Amino acid sequence: MSLLDRSYDHLLRPTLYALSGGDAETVHHRTLGALARLDRRPGLLSPLAARTRTDDPVTVAGVRFPNRVGLAAGMDKDGRALSVWPALGFGFVEVGTVTRHPQPGNDRPRLFTLAASDAVINRMGFNNDGADALADRLDRRRPAGTLGISIGKSKVTPLPDAVADYRYSFGRLAGHADYVALNVSSPNTPGLRALQDEGALREILSALVADSAAMTRQVPIWVKVAPDLTDHALAQLLAVCLEEGVAGIIATNTTVGRSGLAQADLGRASEAGGLSGAPLRRRALEVVALVHRETGGALPVMGVGGIRTPDDARAMLAAGASLVQVYSAFALHGPGVVPAIARSLRTAQG
């Protein structure tokens, strides 16, 4: 662990939580607010980027990624700090999940830190300003850098109308994105995971792939899958993705399982929501390997789930991932984890 990591874990993070009354979501909002203010200070970002940037370009599914480490969806839902993430060492950022209609998400409290387990439980519920607001923001200013946009179904939209809901968000946002991630796997929107079923998923993908093909610049579509699907269900999902022309798979979303929690965190096990962080690592690796095996490498994979160290990231690549994403480790241990992982992957590929 570097000096920066130790300083964050033992000084800065406890201070942030103390100032926020121990509420994880307040810490999140204050952190993102500070980063959003930094977003328009290029004079500060440039020297920061010079220290953290890792040049390890790779092209996956027709998209150039400056390095293999991305910020997973959920941190910067509405794209408020897009210039900051590259300066912190990320090769790409995925904003969202964004829905057609703006929505407040689920009632608070809805975000919980499980420090002993190096994990987080969230039941945010796609809180975001909506597709139109993000499109307007990107119309005004779309910073350079590789950008993914995650889209999900609005809570108010009935499942039978999901296709139209996704198509609206895709139509408003795809022109700003280097890739679009289809989120049908969050456990925090009622019924959403049913859209991973063969018929429902095929209907959505068929519509979005056709919409992409009609654009001047076709936008790759990635599908984010749940770790809680059986291997058989995952194999069926992958067959649909191959048949419908999906660009790649993001493996995985958060889990509704609670295995791997430390004794000190068992009191939180009954909290509803998706678990991320270290307890998800093993299953995420299994899913990455399954995707690579079932598709013969035909579908690239972004590995996400429990990645904190360079060894964790290298294990994802060894399992078949082309790219990795980080979120919980960044939130729990600070920005020092990012350049360390990116540099290790450059070395591993070199």
**pLDDT tens digits, residue range 244-296?**
999 999 999 999 999 999 999 999 999 999 999 999 999 999 999 999 999 99
Given 185, 186, 276, 344, which residue is catalytic? 186
Distance CA(101)–CA(313), nearest Å, equals: 35
6-38: pLDDT as tens digits: 555 545 565 666 656 668 999 899 999 999 999
The CATH number of the domain holding residue 224 is 3.20.20.70
Q: Supply the DSSP string of 273-301, one letter for each residue.
A: SEEEEGGGHHHHHHHHHHHHHHHTT-S-E
Inter-CA distances, 129 with 101, 158, 290, 302, Å: 8, 19, 35, 26
Report residue 98 as tokens: 């964004």
Closest CA to 109 of 38, 174, 26: 26
Active site residue 186: yes
158-183: pLDDT as tens digits: 999 999 999 999 999 999 999 999 99
Query: How many domains are contained in the chain?
Result: 1
Distance CA(111)–CA(28), nearest Å, equals: 9
Q: Quote the domain boundaries for residue 88.
A: 3-255+263-349
61-118: pLDDT as tens digits: 999 999 999 999 999 999 999 999 999 999 999 999 999 999 999 999 999 999 999 9
Report residue 242 as tokens: 């191959």
